[in-house]
Structure 1
Amino acid sequence: MRLGTEAALARVVNVFGAAKPHHAYLFANRRANRMKVLVHDGIGVWLAARRLNAGKFSWPLGGTSTQSLTRVQLDALVLGLPWQRLGEAGIIRTI
């Protein structure tokens, strides 16, 4: 979590080959209570940090390096909410 903007951007380029415009790249600590978000807005990049005082961020299982999220899911993740239950995954089809 000591990464600055340049180091985070370098890690994104090393892992994904490039930082794509209008994409966000999230980094978390081992305890999952801190997160940094690197965003390429099409003009430049910016880095934001968030720390939860209680609880943990909910990360996908399986150790995959990429995960596509909708805007609503990303907003929920940043707030520390269970983002996996939003969108299609949260639809109730039977009673």
Structure 2
Amino acid sequence: MRCGFGSLAAKVQTVLERDPYGGHMFVFRGKRGDLLKALYWCDGGLCLFAKRLEKGRFAWPRADSGVVALTTAQLSLLLEGFDWRQPVEAARPRSAL
């Protein structure tokens, strides 16, 4: 994934038909699934964030229309490398009564 600010902003405009300067975050995944780039407009400038996992792949949502809207919690889990599509409740110790 060699795209930078200009290339990703152009993809947002042409492929997704969205405004990259509208304040939304646009997240792109590399072909192998271990690299993410996020493009975000903030305070008069574009921000580009990148994250690569040492092990595993990012759980990527199915996008039938090309665009998927995630909640803040889903995005947070995605960026941390968790499979947000199938959350599993952590085992909690039982409280003694």
Shorter-chain TM-score range:
0.7 to 0.9
Contact 1:26-1:35 at 8 Å conserved across structures: yes
Report the CA distance between 1:48 and its aligned residue. Answer: 0.6
Contact 2:21-2:46 at 8 Å conserved across structures: no
When normalised by structure 1's length, the TM-score is: 0.79
Unmatched runs of 5 consecutive residues or more in structure 1: 91-95
Q: How much identity, in percent, do the aligned residues show?
A: 31
In terms of mean alpha carbon deviation, does 38-47 or 50-59 score higher?
38-47
Unmatched runs of 5 consecutive residues or more in structure 2: 90-97
Matched, 1:84 2:85: yes
Structure index of larger Rg = 2
- After superposition, the CA RMSD in angstroms is 1.9
In terms of mean alpha carbon deviation, does 74-83 or 34-43 score higher?
34-43
Q: Which has the higher helix share?
A: 1
| Matches of 2:55 and 2:69, distance apart in 1 | 26
Deviating beyond 4 angstroms after TM superposition, the runs of 4 or more aligned structure 1 residues are none
Report the CA distance between 1:52 and its aligned residue. Answer: 0.3
Give the aligned residue type for 1:65: G
Report the CA distance between 1:62 and its aligned residue. Answer: 5.1
